[in-house]
Every structure is written in C-alpha cells, then in structure tokens.
Structure 1
Amino acid sequence: MQIKDVLLAPGTGAFFYDDQAAIKTGATQDGFIYASEPKTTGFTSIRVPASSLSIGLVLTDDSVVWGDMMGVQYSGAGGRDPLFESAQISDLTSRVVAPRLREIDASHFRDSCTKVFRPVEHQRLPLSVEYGVSQALLRAAAHLRRMTMAEIICAEFDLPLPRCRVPIYCQSGDAREINVDKMILKAVDVLPHGLINSRQKFGAGGQTFMEFVKWVTTRTRQIGRPGYHPVLHFDVYGWIGQEIGLDPQSIADFVCRVADTVPDFTLNIESPADFGSTPAQIENYAKIVSILDNRGSSARIVVDERCNTLKDIRLFAEAKAAHLVQIKTPDVGSIADTARAVLICKENKVGAYVGGSCTETDLSAQASVHVSVATQADMMLAKPGMGVDEAFSIVGNEQDRLLAILNRRATKNVS
C-alpha cells in the first residue's frame, strides 16, 4: 500500500465563519465584529475565525502530500453542514478515515475516494472531511503517477488535455470600492461580487444596489485598460426576494431593470432569493430563468443557496433552474464530485462556476484550479480570503503554471 502514515495538523482558514441568519436580520456591526447575538447553532458569536484541519498522507517514498478540510463562510445556512469544529473532525478522521487510507491503492484517485468515503453507521462523512481528504488523494495520485492533478482528473474522467484558461472571478468583501479598483487594474475576468448581504447595502427597493452596479461600470471605463470588458457578477444573498417579495415575475422584472442600466455588459445575479427549500428554489428559479430567457435579457441567474451537494446540482441543472451553478467546493464534498458537477452542468448546457469560500486555504484553492481547468469550467473563484491580491495571485499563478506544463505535454505529443 502506498500510504504508510497519516498526519493531522490544525490550521486556519483565510477568513471568518459568519452567522448568516443573524446578519440577515440586522445584526449591528462594530468595526469588523458584530455586536448582536448569534442565531445559528454552533456559533458563539456572529463572526468566528475560520479554522481548518490539514491531512498529510505519508507515502512509501516518505513524500507527504496534503489536503485541507474546512467549512464555508456561512456554515449552517441554506441547508449546509454545521459550523466546522476542528477537534471533532480530527477525532473522526483519526478513528475512521485514517485506517481506510492505509488500505487503498492511492494511485487510483476515484477508486480511492469511493473506498475511503464509505458511510459510517449509514451516515455520510462530513463534507469537509471528503473535501480535504480528496485533495490529499488527488495529490497522492499525481505524485505516484508523475502527473499534474489536472491530468489525473482528465485520465480518470476520460477528458482531453485542456489548453484553454478558465476565467477568474474575484470577490470584493466589504472594501468594495478599493477592491473594485484593484480588480479593474489587474483586468480580472469577472467582478466584483459586492457582498450585498444586508438591507443597508441593498437599499430600499434595491436603489443602493443599482447605484453600485452603475458605479462599477463607470469605474471600469474610467481606469480600465483599452478593450477591458469584464463580466459583472453580483451576489445579493437573497435580498431581491427579501426586499420586493418572492414572486418570480417581480424578481425577474427587477433583474431586467438592473441589466438595462448596464446594457453593454453581461450581468450575473447570484442568489436573487431564498425560497426556503431546495424543491422550492428549483421551481421558482426555473421560472425566473424562463422569464429572462423569453425576454432575451443579458442577465444570468446564478444559484448558490439550497444547491450544495452533487445531487442538488444535478437537480438544478436538469431543471434549468439557473444559467450558472456555483459549485461550492467544500459543500460538494469530495473534489471528485466537483469534477462530476462541472460535467453534469455541461451535459445540461448550464454554466459551471467552480466556487468555494473565502474561508479556504492555498492548498484547497490550488487543487480547485486543477479540477476547474481539467473540466474546463466556465469560471472559477479567486480564493481564499476576502481580498483581491492574494487570492488572484494564488489561483492565477497556479493556472498559468499548470497550462505551461500542459502545453509542453501537448507539444511533445505532437512532435
């Protein structure tokens, strides 16, 4: 067996875990923290420093390959797993996962994931465990077979070696104006996220949000280089539905009004509303998508909340309940399922956005790049953290290095 030992190392995520329920109901901000009481189970305060847990696989040549487990920023919201508890995850990994890892042939990635992620007492392993362990397994297979992680994905999913870059999407956090300037100066493909997660940021009738959208386009023209034309992507955290109601027609009307203010740009609206359950989300998002399509609108609906696991993603894609699905990697679980999710979206002619969370790490971000490029996702998130520079550097540089390797391989195969 190629794995002779398993190491665990506590770590930190690149941002914070936030209680979305408390923030949505008007939690008071005091500097960087929130002064109100938490509402979501597991949170002792509304904003908690993100923790992570690294798992290292010691291979027979004494090389160690790593993966990182963590939760997402808004843990416990929208049907997601509860707040990540490093001590509990460490105990479960030591007792259940580590013995399984020592029994597998780590050179076969998908088969390894299937064997290691078997249910425990009829319960699926925590998705954070699947996510971190699968990163380590992907790196192990790449090391043992002397390939990149992307090539392992291509080989095991019968995909051609890619040669095209995947557009990168950056998120602004609360430092919206400064970070928008950074994105424009660095010619980011998709921007700015915006973090429109409160009534104050959305405004009465959405007026504050619409003014921000117009400002982003004006700023792009002012300081962007000639020919720079990004896709605009705004995450509104359900505030269209909260502010104007949950009628699909009214939501579509509002989205069209926003799109009409920026007619020269493609507009992505993420999480326009939360209808309270996955079936309700699918039904109503499909109606919104249909209305926009029938109008020929340039706006695209992006689903996040209530679309977490591979099963959820399949349901949304098959129902055409989004133009673009965010594949939120720690919520999906095994990174093999992230690859499957992209392919499911492509089969159903729905956009695939390999996302994730600001709470992730450099290692999880780099693994996500390999899966995104191998499957040729429509876009991928610059992560981790809530700034621009570090995340854009980690994801962008990893993609450029990977494509340099793949282009060399292709050139050698041709010659």
Structure 2
Amino acid sequence: MQIKDVLLALGNGAFFYDDQAAIRAGASQDGFVYVGEPVTPDFASIRVPASSLSVGLVLADNAVVWGDMMSVQYSGAGGRDPLFDTAQISDLTSRVVAPRLLDVDPSCYLAACAKVFEPFQHSRLPLAIEYGVSQALLRAAAHLHRATMAEILCSEFNLPLPTRRVPIYCQSGDAREINVDKMILRAVDVLPHGLINSRQKFGVNGHTFMAFVKWVATRTSEIGRPGYHPVLHFDVYGWIGLEIGLEPQRIADFVCKVADTVPGFTLNIECPADFGSTEAQINNYARIVSILDDRGSSARIVVDERCNTLEDIRLYAEAKAAHLVQIKTPDVGSIADTARAVLICKEKQVGAYVGGSCTETDLSAQASVHVSVATQADMMLAKPGMGVDEGFSIVGNEQNRLFATLNRR
C-alpha cells in the first residue's frame, strides 16, 4: 500500500502569530491590535493572522488523509523556528518531501517518518513540515490498519492500550474573567493559563497577578459544581524574573507566596523566568524546583520557553529542571517525537504536558489527543484558538470518541 499523490491546501490557524519581544517590550493594545513596530524578524506587524498549510496523502484505495502544518503563536521567540512562511513551506514540501512520501510504506509509521524526515542539505526539515506530515502519516497508518491513531502509536511504541482519561487544560486568552467562568461551568480539569504576558497584567511586585490567582480560586467555589477542585495553572511569560530579578531563591520565594494564597490547590507556574539560554534555563530551573521540593510547596514549575526539541526535553527531564514539561507539539516537530518526549518524561518521573498552540487547527488538535492518550500524558491542552468552548469541544470530544472505540475493542 503506497501513497499515490500528495496534495497541499492553504489554511488558517485558529488564532494569531504574535511578536513576543515587542509585547514584552511594552507594546500597547488598541482593541485587538498591538500598536508599534515589530521586533522579531519576519513579522510585518506585531500581530498577524495565523496561517497553516494542509498536506493530504492520496492512498492506493483513493482515500485522502490529512495533516496540518503551522507555527506557534510566539514564533521566533525562545529559540523557536521563525514565523511560518506558507510559500516557503509549500515549495519545500513539494520539491523535497512529496517525492519521499511517494517512496515509503505508510503502514509502517515510525519507519515512514524516519525516511521522510531525513535531513535536507545537511539540515533538519522545518519543524512545521515534520509536524503536519507526521499527522498525515499517522492517519494513513490508522486507515490502512483499520485502527485508531492511538492504537497505531501503542503498537509502534510497544505500549498497552490506554485506560485513563487525560486531564484537559484550557487557556483563557485576554478575555480572562469571562473565559474563567466558562471553564468553571464546564468543570475543566486545569485552568486558566491567564496570558500574563505584560507588566500591566503582572503588576508591581506581582500584586496584580496574585490578586487574579486568588480571584480564580474563589470563583471556582462561587459558581463551580459541588466538589469541583481544578488544578490552577498560570503562564507568566517570564515576568516573575523580569519584575523581581533572576535569583532562583527569590523566584522560589515568590512562587511559594502565591501558592500560600490559594491553600488546598495545586498551583502550576509556567515560565517563571527566562534565563536567556537553554543551559542557563536548565541550571536555574533545577535550583527553583529543588527549593520548592525541599519546602514541600504545592507549587509546580512548568517549563515552556527554551525547551523546544526532543533533545531539549530530554535535558530538562534528566536534570529535574521542571515538575512538568510542556511538550509544545509544533516546536517538537514530528508527532512521533511528541510521543517519545512523553515517554522520556515518564521514565525520568517528570510530568508530561502535551501542549501546543492556539494557532493550531482542528486536525492537529485531534492528532495530539491520540498521542496524549496513547502515552498517558499527565495533561493536554484544549486547542486550537483562544475561545475555550471550541478547543475544549474538539479535544474533549475526540478523547471521548477514542475511548468509546477502545472500549468496544
């Protein structure tokens, strides 16, 4: 069973690509638009609509299976690949990747990925290509074996069929209060992200942020169903370090102080600081984690920036430089590497969070669900978009359909 043809279709990501450096430098908002000049290369403005590119594999029985390529919201930041260039990605896919696809057996998933993703001109293919093509190859294998994508991954990685539902984490975007209410009413497992990406949202010495954390905890008891007790997860985009300095002891002290304001809750703090390089990030995050563990704090450190590739994730897990690693799927590349990343984290007894980006699509989100469930990740992101309802529906429904199918097996 071979691939007969390769199709490409232009598409939209579910949110926008944002210039993180410009926002961090203080760019103001005018409605939904950021005012000012972009800083990160390739950005024509600080906020641009997210684009995507679908790759379709025409199989021998004329079935067509698809995967979607895109970049993450903060492209070009923290060591990530540059902004998604549809024309460039389309050209490279047509010239280099398509001929390789016509020469592989899509029924053998990992072998097909290995052959298609060989280096080109001594360099790795763009991670967006790996991400989208690996989704399409996984769907092809599932179609040919009459199985779910999760079952293909379990077979390829010699894993038992999953039995545990993976908790879902929602992100609020800038409509924080309204979206927190939506999450609570839907009894989301982990919430709310909060998008604390500016000095205004963090506040002097973090007071604005701390007030928001307390409000979220209080709100869960005010409008949540009886017994509802979510994990609280906040992404602060390095603002603890930017506001109070980069000394690990001071950062740990601040994180403990925040945790003390919401007793009884598990508190995840994502990207407390950006130390400028992967090596510095690993060393300093390991110190922060150690301090929190020694104190018995309920707070957990989540790494995002400067932890992009599979090798990065391996280094963080080995160094215990986070309680929870965000496996940011488009930044990892091949979705097979996302599976490997989860398994590395589990081996090293570090939490694995299959994340991604609001700029993704329905297809990439659904594929991520199968990887998360097959590897039994600790949590997964509701994606794409920033509206809560859509991403929670896409990811939650796909997980429910998958377990209905697996239970019938």
Q: TM-score range by the shorter chain?
A: over 0.9
Secondary structure of residue in 2 paired with 1:352: strand
Q: Please show how residues 21-32 of structure 1 align to structure 2 within 5 Å.
A: 21-32=21-32
Share of identical aligned residues, percent? Answer: 83
Residue 163 (structure 1) shift: 1.3
Structure 2 gaps, min length 5: none
Q: Identify the residue that residue 232 of structure 1 maps to in structure 2.
A: 232
Secondary structure of residue in 2 paired with 1:143: helix
Q: Identify the residue that residue 336 of structure 2 maps to in structure 1.
A: 336
Q: Please show how residues 12-161 of structure 1 align to structure 2 within 5 Å.
A: 12-161=12-161
Mapped pair 1:208 → 2:208: yes
Q: Could you give the per-residue CA deviations for residues 286-314 of structure 1, whole angstroms, max 9, x where no partner exists?
A: 00000000000000000000000000000
Q: Identify the residue that residue 400 of structure 1 maps to in structure 2.
A: 400
Residue 82 (structure 1) shift: 0.2
Residue 407 (structure 1) shift: 1.1
Q: Which amino acid aligns with 1:102?
A: L
State the distance in 2 between where 1:177 and 1:399 align.
Answer: 27
State the distance in 1 between where 2:336 and 2:218 align.
Answer: 40
Secondary structure of residue in 1 paired with 2:205: helix
Q: Which amino acid aligns with 1:407?
A: N
Secondary structure of residue in 1 paired with 2:9: strand
Superposition RMSD on alpha carbons, in Å? 0.4
State the distance in 2 between where 1:34 and 1:217 align.
Answer: 30
Mapped pair 1:351 → 2:351: yes
State the distance in 2 between where 1:294 and 1:36 align.
Answer: 44
Residue 131 (structure 1) shift: 0.1
Q: Identify the residue that residue 412 of structure 1 maps to in structure 2.
A: none
Q: Could you give the per-residue CA deviations for residues 115-161 of structure 1, whole angstroms, max 9, x where no partner exists?
A: 00000011000000000000000000000011000000000000000
Secondary structure of residue in 2 paired with 1:72: coil
Q: Identify the residue that residue 272 of structure 2 maps to in structure 1.
A: 272
Secondary structure of residue in 1 paired with 2:44: coil
Structure 2 length as normaliser, TM-score? 1.00
Q: Identify the residue that residue 413 of structure 1 maps to in structure 2.
A: none
State the distance in 2 between where 1:145 and 1:220 align.
Answer: 44
Residue 188 (structure 1) shift: 0.1
Q: Count residues in correspondence.
A: 409
State the distance in 1 between where 2:153 and 2:273 align.
Answer: 34
State the distance in 1 between where 2:160 and 2:291 align.
Answer: 36
Q: Which amino acid aligns with 2:315?
A: L
Residue 276 (structure 1) shift: 0.2
Secondary structure of residue in 2 paired with 1:54: strand
State the distance in 2 between where 1:165 and 1:86 align.
Answer: 36
Residue 245 (structure 1) shift: 0.2
State the distance in 1 between where 2:113 and 2:105 align.
Answer: 10
Mapped pair 1:11 → 2:6: no
Which contiguous aligned blocks of 4+ residues in structure 1 show a shift greater than 2 angstroms?
Answer: none
Structure 1 gaps, min length 5: 410-415
Structure 1 length as normaliser, TM-score? 0.98
Residue 100 (structure 1) shift: 0.1
Residue 28 (structure 1) shift: 1.3
Residue 408 (structure 1) shift: 1.2
Secondary structure of residue in 1 paired with 2:17: strand
State the distance in 1 between where 2:164 and 2:297 align.
Answer: 28
Q: Identify the residue that residue 162 of structure 2 maps to in structure 1.
A: 162
State the distance in 1 between where 2:28 and 2:239 align.
Answer: 18
Secondary structure of residue in 2 paired with 1:92: helix
State the distance in 2 between where 1:162 and 1:29 align.
Answer: 44
Residue 207 (structure 1) shift: 0.2
Secondary structure of residue in 2 paired with 1:53: strand
